[in-house]
Amino acid sequence: AGVERCTGEIEVTQELLGAVITRPRLAEKHLQKAPFRFLFDIVVEVTKATGFAAGLYDEEEVDPGTQKDKAAKVAFLEKIRDCVGVHLGTPVDLRPQKTVAGLEAQK
């Protein structure tokens, strides 16, 4: 499936991600307003399943126990945002500070 299919619609996201990972469960409520841990688990599982962004994070960064404070969460999201942007050849419209605060959940 090409990136052009990514519309932001929940059903499309469930279909595309569901073809790659089996967990976390891609529940509509989490896709509408994704908590950090949900995003963290998706990034880690996509990397395990596909190899995308392999080596981006060190062992400590992919340990959920280390992702407790806001700065660590923001740094985690900044890294994947920038990696995806480089891969797509365009900046990704995501502000990790807002995402971690529970704002701009639609992005």
pLDDT at 4: 83
pLDDT at 2 over 90: no
pTM of the model: 0.92
pLDDT at 3 over 80: no
Q: Give tens-digit pLDDT for 49-105.
A: 999 999 999 999 999 999 999 999 999 999 999 999 999 999 999 999 999 998 876
Q: What angle do CA 53, 59, 64 make, to 5 degrees?
A: 95
CA distance 79 to 29: 25
Please report which confidence band the pLDDT of residue 107 belongs to, taking 50, 70 and 90 as the band edges. low
